[in-house]
Amino acid sequence: MKSNVFSLTIFCLLIQMPFLKSQDLVSATLIRSYTVQEVSQIFASLPLIRFGAKAYKVRYTSPDAKGKKDTLSGLMAVPDNLNWQFPRAVYQHGTSDCKTCVPSRLGQSGGDEGQIGVFISGLGFVAMLPDYVGMGDGRGFQTYVHEKTIASAGRNMVSACEKWAASNNLKLNDQLFITGYSQGGYGSMALHKNYEEVPSSQKVTAAAHLSGPYSLSGVMRDLILSDKAYNYPAYIPNTILGFNEAHGSLYKELSDIFKPEYVSEIKKYYDGTSTLSTLNLKLIQLLTTNTGASVGGRILKDSVLNLIKTNPNHPANTILRENDLFRWAPKTPTRIFYCMADDQVPFQNSIIARDSMTSRGAADLLVTDVGSTLNHGGCINPALAQTLFFFLGFQRVISGTDNNESIKLKTVKVFPNPVMETLYVTGLNAKGESIYIFDTEGKTISAIKNNKSIDVEVDLSSLHSGVYYIVVQSTDGQMETHSVVKL
C-alpha cells in the first residue's frame, strides 16, 4: 500500500511539472494606460467601471507543442489603484486571424480582443489573457483546440503574472475567475478542468464558458463529416494543422491528408503568408467551384475521409476524443452560455456538456441560451455581459492593508423574485448608491440614484418578461449584483 501511495504521489508531481515547474517570468512591458472614462467607453452600455487600467505585454516561459521550453506571450491588465487586493480573471481569446492577431498586440492590427481584458480590469480584476502556444511570441503553429497546451499556456501565465505582481506592489487576493468565448470558451474550460484535476493552492472561484466546441469527437466531427454546407471550412485545416503540430501523427506532408487543389492555400496559411479569413474565403470559392457547395469535409482526400468515417481508432478520431472537454464535472460554480442559432459552433456542444457534467455530479452548473436567434458573432455581447454579472456576484476587493477589510455593501436584499410589477431593494446605506437595471445583453434599462432611504421601490411594470440584473453600486464603487425574473 505504501508503495502505491508513493507511486501515486510521484505521478501527481510529474503531471503538474509542465504547468508549474517550467514557468518563469521573462518580461512585462507597459503598452498603455487607460483612464476610468476610456475604460468605460469599451462597453459603454455597462456603466460600472471603478478603476482606470494599465495594460502590459507579458512574456513568460512555458512548453511548446512538443513539450520543449518556449517563450510565450499574453496581455495583463491591472487596475490603476494599488490600495486594494484584487482577484485574478483569465480571459481566453477567440479564434485569431493570424499569428500576431492576439491580445498582447493591443493597439496594433489584430489585437482588439485585448480590450476585453482592459474592461475586466476596470471592474476590479487583474485580467490575464494568454496568446496561446504557437501564437504571439510563441514559436511554431498554434495548437488551436488542444487541451493540454492551452491549459499549460494559461496556467503558466497566471503564475508569471503573480510573480510580476509580487515584485510591483500589486496585491492579489485568493480568487480566480476563468472565462473565454468561442475557441476561448474551449480554452477556458480546458484551463478550468486543469485547475480542478491538477490541484494546487490556487482554487477556481467561478468559471463561465461561452459558445465553445466542447464536443470535438461528436458535434464538431459530425458537422465536418456531413454533406451539410458550412461557411467556415478553414476551421478544418486549422484544427488538423494544430493537432499535427502537437502529435505529428496525422500527416507528414499536407498532400497526405488534403486534396491537391486545396494544398497551396492551406500551406500559405500555415507559413503565415495568408490569414485564416483569406483561407476561408478561398476554400469556399474552391469547394463551390469544384464540388457545388462549401462542404468542409470535401477538402480531405477521399481515402482519408473514408477512414475517419469508418475507423474509430483512426488517429484523427483518437485525438478528437482525447481533446473533448465534457467528460468531467466542475466542483466550483460554473456557467455555460450559448446561442441556439450559432452558425459556427453548434449549440449542441453546450447541451452535451450540460448533460454529461450533470450526470457526473456537477454541483453548481447552469447552462443558458442567451440569445435563441443570435448567430456566433451576435452571441458574444450577451454571453460576456452575463458572465460579468455572474463574476461580480462573487468578487471580493480587499483592502491592501487589512486582509479582513473587504469592499462590500451591507447585505442588500432584492425581492420578490420572480416579480410582477414592484421590486423592493432593502438594506441600503442611503448615501448616494446607484441602482442599475440591466437586460441580459448588458444594456442599461434604468439607473436610480438613492440619497434618502435604506429601502427603495422599483417599478418594473413596463418591462417585458425575462431575466434582468439589479446592480447596487456605492459611491466608492463597491457593487452587489442580483438577477431577477420579470413575469
Q: What is the per-residue pLDDT across 235-256, written as a single tens digit (0 to 9) for each?
A: 999 999 999 999 999 999 999 9
Separation CA 36–CA 201 (nearest Å):
33
DSSP state of 361: T
Please report which confidence band the pLDDT of residue 400 belongs to, taking 50, 70 and 90 as the band edges: low
Which tens digit of pLDDT belongs to each residue from 170-204? 999 999 999 999 999 999 999 999 999 997 888 99
Worst-scoring range by mean pLDDT, 10-19, 134-143, 321-330, 436-445? 10-19
Mean pLDDT over residues 213-219, rounded? 98
Mean pLDDT over residues 361-385, rounded? 95
Q: Which three cell numbers stand for residue 121?
A: 480590469
Separation CA 346–CA 371 (nearest Å):
13
| Rounded (5°) CA angle 285-286-291 | 110
Clarify whether residues 202 and 77 are in a common domain: yes
Is the pLDDT reported for residue 4 higher than 80? no
**Domain membership flag for residue 16:** no
Kindly report the length of the chain. Answer: 487
Q: Which three cell numbers stand for residue 270?
A: 500555415
pLDDT at 150: 98
Specify whether the CB–CB gap between 85 and 353 falls below 8 A. no
Q: Which CATH number is 154's domain given?
A: 3.40.50.1820
pLDDT at 23: 65
| Number of folded domains that form the chain | 3
Could you tell me the CA-to-CA distances from 137 to 77, 102, 143, 163, 466 in Å, in that order?
A: 18, 10, 14, 20, 45
Clarify whether residues 74 and 207 are in a common domain: yes
Mean pLDDT over residues 302-311, rounded? 97
**Domain membership flag for residue 97:** yes
Clarify whether residues 108 and 200 are in a common domain: yes
Q: Shortest CA distance to 258 belongs to which of 298, 292, 294? A: 298
Task: Please tell me the pTM assigned to this model.
Answer: 0.91
Q: Among the three residues 322, 341, 374, which one is the final residue of a domain in this structure? A: 322
* Dihedral sign, Cα of residue 366, residue 369, residue 375, residue 377: negative
Q: Shortest CA distance to 136 belongs to which of 214, 26, 43? A: 26
3-state secondary structure of 482: strand
Is the pLDDT reported for residue 7 higher than 60? no
Mean pLDDT over residues 90-107, rounded? 98
Q: Shortest CA distance to 92 belongs to which of 192, 32, 21, 179? A: 179
Clarify whether residues 343 and 413 are in a common domain: no
Mean pLDDT over residues 272-290, rounded? 98
Clarify whether residues 383 and 429 are in a common domain: no
3-state secondary structure of 459: strand
Clarify whether residues 176 and 254 are in a common domain: no
Q: Shortest CA distance to 287 belongs to which of 333, 228, 215, 334? A: 228
In sequence order, the 6+-apart residues with CB closer than 8 A to the CB of 419 are 460, 484, 485, 486, 487
Domain hosting 153: range is 22-215+324-392
3-state secondary structure of 290: helix
